[in-house]
Structure 1
């Protein structure tokens, strides 16, 4: 038992160092730098050099007690910052895939729909114009149309990047998960939120490990967005404008990583449903001789709802208990 506890303690310490202490110390150092430099001396290296030289030459700062106190204060501040950012990251995860019907979600959905409608109208106009030009000019055969008409290609890419189908969700992430839910309902007649805990239970270890890895990436992207918020707050507090640049860079990285995670998670969850629904039907005693049909899905739905199964994970993007 002692080796097991030692290994668990080691992994827990490594996780804390990775998630909280390391990024937290970097943030604390940046905040201290921002407080000293301010707006006027934001990138004034000689000003910073004189300040650091004064700190190192002060004999009081060489005392062991003072050094230990500074190290303890920095570590404590780093852990507190890390815990606050972790909480902010969980909140950002919820904001990326909201499940309620708050007023702000309706506003965001309407805005996304207006933007999607404008892009779709512009794409239709550009495609019509390109078709008319093509009919008149008779472009050379075999030449890619994107070279002669790049605008329809760009607009189509922007439209697909903006939303998967007509927007009915407040965020891109929620739209992707809603599209997955609709596809599975149309194909199998199932409600993914209801079936997901059972699919998770019977799935193989490799499939669950893959999904958990992507869920961790998504959570890591949300924490990165939380750090972006933290660095953005440094600017109004100190006037050190480079903090805004750091915040923008972190926010862009967080958005890119979150999108990549969702784009990876969707096919993983879909394949998990494709491969395990028949097994779930067999285990619950529902005949499924050939393919899993919507009729089988309706029977399973009745059984699962009659059992009163509570799903604490609204969608597969939420990490499952470990």
Structure 2
């Protein structure tokens, strides 16, 4: 039991260090650097080292006081970095919404559907998911937004694992861009902070596009391979073992009418079940 508890605590500490601690500590260090150097001495590394040493261990302090101050500094930095990292994680879905172009907001152009009044993105990451929904709807006559929760339930573990990894990569890419956006205000006090801000924003966007493309391809694949299992599970067996547009239309109508449900607007987002 003791070894199991130690292993659990060790994994939890490692996860905190990688996902929350290290990024948060780096951001706190960036803020401290901006506070100490400012624009006038932006590249004065000696001043930064001296000020940091004096703040952590004043020259007039005793050994006991130095130890206490160091412990307090470490605890404070750990607390602040964790809070900042958790805030960034919570802000990640907002960036995803901007990427996906939900409503009037988002990157790229949007086209209003006269039938539903909804805005569908025509460029950027959101357009890739819009094409995904439109393609599946055109080929299989299947409303992916309605069918996806049921399809997720019939997927094998291997398919779920791949989708979960792709969805997690998409979420992490958004968090990278949030870190970049968080660095921008720091540049008001220390201009070199523009460099990590621009790099993180660009990297997050590039990785987000790649993750979105991979996720869309996987969704298309699971519909191709497991669409018949979805239809059969809902009482619409496929005679030749593959989903057809006729059966897909029957499945969509069945799901839309069940319980008087209304078909939702076809807005492509990584499904909640596919994130970790």
Q: How many Å apart are 1:61 and its aligned residue? A: 7.9
**Who is 2:82 aligned against?**
79
**Who is 1:292 aligned against?**
243
The answer to whether the 8 A contact 1:196-1:315 is kept is no
- Highest Rg: 1 or 2? 1
Q: How many Å apart are 1:11 and its aligned residue? A: 4.0
**Who is 1:251 aligned against?**
201
Q: How many Å apart are 1:19 and its aligned residue? A: 1.7
Q: How many Å apart are 1:172 and its aligned residue? A: 1.0
Tell me whether 1:280 sits opposite 2:233 in the alignment: no
The answer to whether the 8 A contact 2:132-2:216 is kept is yes
The answer to whether the 8 A contact 1:212-1:319 is kept is no
Relative distance call for 1:318 and 1:281 in structure 2 (3 A) is closer
Q: Which of 307, 313, 317 is residue 258 of structure 2 equivalent to?
A: 307
Q: How many Å apart are 1:177 and its aligned residue? A: 0.3
**Who is 1:317 aligned against?**
270
| Residue deviations 1:87-135 (CA, integer Å, cap 9, x gap) | 2212111211143x33x45x9526x9xxxxxxxxxxxxxxxxxxxxxxx
Q: Tell me how many residue pairs correspond in the alignment.
A: 262
Q: How many Å apart are 1:292 and its aligned residue? A: 2.0
Q: How many Å apart are 1:171 and its aligned residue? A: 4.9
Q: How many Å apart are 1:4 and its aligned residue? A: 6.7
The answer to whether the 8 A contact 1:215-1:319 is kept is no
**Who is 1:88 aligned against?**
91
Q: How many Å apart are 1:59 and its aligned residue? A: 4.0
Q: How many Å apart are 1:25 and its aligned residue? A: 0.7
**Who is 2:26 aligned against?**
26
**C-alpha separation between the residues in 2 aligned to 1:82 and 1:319?**
21
SS at match of 1:285: coil
**Who is 2:158 aligned against?**
206
**Who is 2:221 aligned against?**
271
Q: Which of 183, 186, 196 is residue 138 of structure 2 equivalent to?
A: 186
Question: For structure 2, which runs of at least 5 residues remain unmatched after alignment?
Answer: 112-118
Q: How many Å apart are 1:34 and its aligned residue? A: 1.1
Question: For structure 1, which runs of at least 5 residues remain unmatched after alignment?
Answer: 113-166
The answer to whether the 8 A contact 2:130-2:267 is kept is no
**C-alpha separation between the residues in 2 aligned to 1:250 and 1:289?**
51
TM-score by length of 2: 0.84
The answer to whether the 8 A contact 1:89-1:222 is kept is yes
